[in-house]
Structure 1
């Protein structure tokens, strides 16, 4: 997917996420990813939700909440960029968010409900972006990012963490 974006539309750190996006079409990718992710979470044994593969690592529930939190933040960034807001956006400390998320107190159904609400909002947001809005570039975490790069990152970030859960947790 990186080949779909111009140089300078994203920090190279996000390249691996962009390459894991579900589709060349951002909206289609978010829709496909939504169904796949809900099916994936539903298949996780309930007793595994609070499992961490090593001391100090996140539990599966915390990883899921991290995906949700990140989608909220990146959708907000995309909105700001699409609206030509030139105010630089600071980063966020994912490691500070997780222990304050209470993720381990939520059922799979509650996590899915939250994910579905956020993903539906992201899909609606991207449906309303024009071609011009998708190519707008803002600054987040000290680096440039386009609206469309944020959309590919949303999809690929989710897929990245599904791979991690499959490899290390299940």
Structure 2
């Protein structure tokens, strides 16, 4: 059975321009399209500096705000970013180690209510974000260039290790933009 491929590395310099999109997958490609053409680890580190500043700028009273009925709160969006980074990081680790086990998807809509984000302080979310991102940087910063091209199957898609790293960055930027546009302007 042939599975659709999502992103593969054309060369082993890990920048957005080094990805080849083997099929159009708008859901994930929209994350990649938000990124500058910079080195993956450089981008991960830059976001580690900038995103905590963004979180700190959110008024405490907005953490429980949702812009419409049935939408996630600001706190839930932030914890979703962290949860998703962990999932993509785990997939990247498995594939980087040559694990060919097909990995299932995850249902973000089931994760969010169980995260109990509304019971968390902004500072605890910020601390968890920093810890997870530092772990992501340690993972990708210590991979040999050829490993970024290793691949595996998750959510019925064939992913490269490097593409997972870039999706982590693009996913965060996507949700930061949504928070700015729909949550914090109100």
TM bin, normalised by shorter chain, reads over 0.9
Q: CA offsets, 1:28-74, max 9 Å, x none?
A: 10111111110000000000001001110000000000000000000
Structure 1, unmatched stretches of 5+, are none
Paired with 1:10 and 1:27, the residues of 2 have a C-alpha distance of 25
CA deviations 1:60-94 (Å, max 9, x no partner) are 00000000000000000000111111111100000
Q: Report runs of 4+ in structure 1 exceeding 4 Å deviation.
A: 9-12
Higher RCO structure, 1 or 2 (CA under 8 Å, sep 6+)? 1
CA–CA distance in 1 between the matches of 2:23 and 2:142? 20
- Of 67, 70, 82, the residue aligned with 1:56 is 70
Question: Which residue among 113, 120, 126 is the counterpart of 1:99?
Answer: 113
For these two proteins, the number of residue pairs brought into alignment is: 170
The counterpart of 2:135, out of the listed 111, 115, 121, is 121
For 2:3, the equivalent position in structure 1 comes to none
Q: Output the CA distance in 2 between the equivalents of 1:114 and 1:44.
A: 16
Matches of 2:152 and 2:60, distance apart in 1: 40
Contact 1:38–1:112 (Cα < 8 Å) also in 2: yes
Q: Is the 8 A contact 1:8 1:144 kept in 2?
A: no
- The gaps in structure 2 that reach 5 residues or longer are 1-14
Q: What TM-score, normalized by structure 1, do the two folds share?
A: 0.95
What is residue 97 of structure 2 aligned with on the other side?
A: 83
SS in 1 for 2:79: helix
Q: Highest CA radius of gyration, 1 or 2?
A: 2
SS at match of 2:49: helix
> Partner residue of 2:44?
30
Q: CA RMSD in A?
A: 1.6
- 1:126 and 1:145 map into 2 onto residues whose CA distance is 15
